[in-house]
């Protein structure tokens, strides 16, 4: 059964304190791994998609990496506006549906 697990569930950082969020997955034929950001009361906002092990993508203070079993979202020198829930999802080759993890809620304090 396709499954996604994110850790930690919650993360508190001081402004400027870099860290990483983990997404472990099992899927029958990875079609893509997706990272989304979700602010309270809003829909998920697309950040990155990764397709094969070794791939990396960057956007401002965020960098996503992918291995055959997990993905990391690295946050460098975070700012308070980076506070949000970060969701990881996978799409298998069998269907187009996204299977989400439970998310990591990040709080960055000034």
Binding residues for another protein, rule: CB under 8 A, are 4, 31-32, 34, 36, 41-46, 49, 87, 89, 91, 95-103
Find the shortest distance in angstroms from Cβ 16 to another protein: 28
> Which stretches of the chain are assigned E, i.e. beta strand?
3-7, 10-14, 19-26, 30-38, 45-50, 56-59, 62-66, 70-75, 84-92, 98-100, 104-109
Q: Which is nearer to another protein, 15 or 39 (CB)?
A: 39
Q: How far is the CB of 9 from another protein (least distance, A)?
A: 9
Report CA 47 to chain centroid distance, whole Å.
Answer: 8
At closest approach, how far in Å is the CB of 85 from another protein? 9
Q: Which residue's CB is nearer to another protein, number 29 or number 110?
A: 29
State how far the Cα of 27 lies from the Cα of 40, in Å rounded to an integer. 29
Whole-number Å distance between alpha carbons of 3 and 69: 11
Residue closer to another protein by CB (options 11, 76) is 11
How far apart are CB 80 and another protein at their closest, in Å? Answer: 22
């Amino acid at each position: 059964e396709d499954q996604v697990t994110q850790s930690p569930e919650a993360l508190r950082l001081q402004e400027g304190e870099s860290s990483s969020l983990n997404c472990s997955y099992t899927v029958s034929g990875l079609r893509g791994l997706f990272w989304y950001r979700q602010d309270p009361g809003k829909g998920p906002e697309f950040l990155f998609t990764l397709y094969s092990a070794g791939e990396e993508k960057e956007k401002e203070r965020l960098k996503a990496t992918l291995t055959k079993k997990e993905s990391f979202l690295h946050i460098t020198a975070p700012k308070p506006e980076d506070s949000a829930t970060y969701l990881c999802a996978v799409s298998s080759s069998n269907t187009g549906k996204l299977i989400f993890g439970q998310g990591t809620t990040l709080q960055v304090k000034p």
